[in-house]
Structure 1
Amino acid sequence: MNGGDASAVPAAQALRMATLNGAKALGIDHITGSLVPGKSADIVAIDMLDIETQPIYNPLSQLVYAIGRDKVTDVWVAGKHLLKSRTLMTVDIHKLKAKTHLWRDKIIEFL
């Protein structure tokens, strides 16, 4: 099996491995891993209309094999909208950047 060969694992099987089978492997499939009432779920919305994603012949294959994180527009975790139109809803990005620069400067002092 070639690691660069998309046909080695069909897209539907790869998605199932990453979701329901991943939850089963962790022993938490009774609380997550599939979209059913009563389970905790994380959902993402993905923009597949950009020129880089065209043409789309099979949306599932496109999602599994070709779409990157830059196409994620929205994320909900356990019902909470954390990323909305590519904007973080629970993190102050300006404070985070300031903190990273502060730590960068502290690390540079030790080098």
Structure 2
Amino acid sequence: MQRLSELGLLGPGFLAAHGVHLLPQEIDLLHAYGCHIAHCPSSNLKLGSGIAPVADLVAKQVNVGLGTDSAASNNRLDMFTEMRMAALLAKGASEDPTSLPAHQVLKMATINAAKALGLDEKIGSIEIGKQADITAVKLSDLTISPCYDPISHLVYTCGREHVTHTWVAGELKYSNGIYANIEPMELKEIVKKWQPKLAQHKH
């Protein structure tokens, strides 16, 4: 990180993926330059890469957004899973059950991630003038009832199977199992076509 600083590469436009081996002085540099971290907990665990010091990053006011990495290292690609994993890992790594509370994790998955991408003036929160990207979740589903704290429920209990509707820029894209612009059977055929081609390149 020091070398990147010397090369003039650090700044608000710098987004570091993973950050699992950061030294304390490197966290200080990230804060000083207004850099961002893309935290991908499931990917880091699957690859045995390590655990990002998220509690330390947050304590130093470094902006941390949440990601899934890719299908190559995260089979599920479920942001609800990533929220839960991030919250639990931070608590386990710091041995502090109050570390990274649910509301902070939800921000990591929404406005913090948008800020890391330089898009926080357009997306990441529900505000007048911003793009209406919205996900509706059925908190009354029997499998996750009862719900006492909606934010805690979103982070620790819900999964993508509880999503009922999604809107992108105010346009309904998904409603109770029906996709607006995707034909599931056609998509399955595309997957079948590409699966053997991809399998040829596996190591």
Note the residue ranges of structure 2 that are not aligned, 5 or more in a row: 1-54, 56-87, 92-96
For residue 100 of structure 1, what is the aligned residue in structure 2?
191
Provide the aligned C-alpha RMSD in A. 2.4
The residue type equivalent to 1:81 in the other structure is L
| Aligned with residue 22 of structure 1, among 88, 113, 123 | 113
1:79 CA displacement: 0.8
Change (3 A) 1:93 1:18: same
The aligned counterpart of 2:132 is 41
Asked whether the 8 Å contact 1:75–1:81 carries over to 2, the reply is yes
Identical-pair percentage: 37
5+ residue gaps in structure 1? none
**TM-score if structure 1 supplies the norm length?**
0.82
Write the distance in 2 (CA, Å) between the matches of 1:50 and 1:87: 18
User: 1:1-111 residue pairs with structure 2 within 5 A?
Assistant: 3=89, 5=91, 7-104=98-195, 106-107=196-197
Equivalent residue pairs, number: 110
Of structures 1 and 2, the one scoring higher in RCO (CA 8 A, sep 6+) is 1
TM-score, normalising length: structure 2: 0.48
Q: Deviations over 1:37-94 (max 9, x none)?
A: 2111310111122222022121110011210111011100011111011211101111
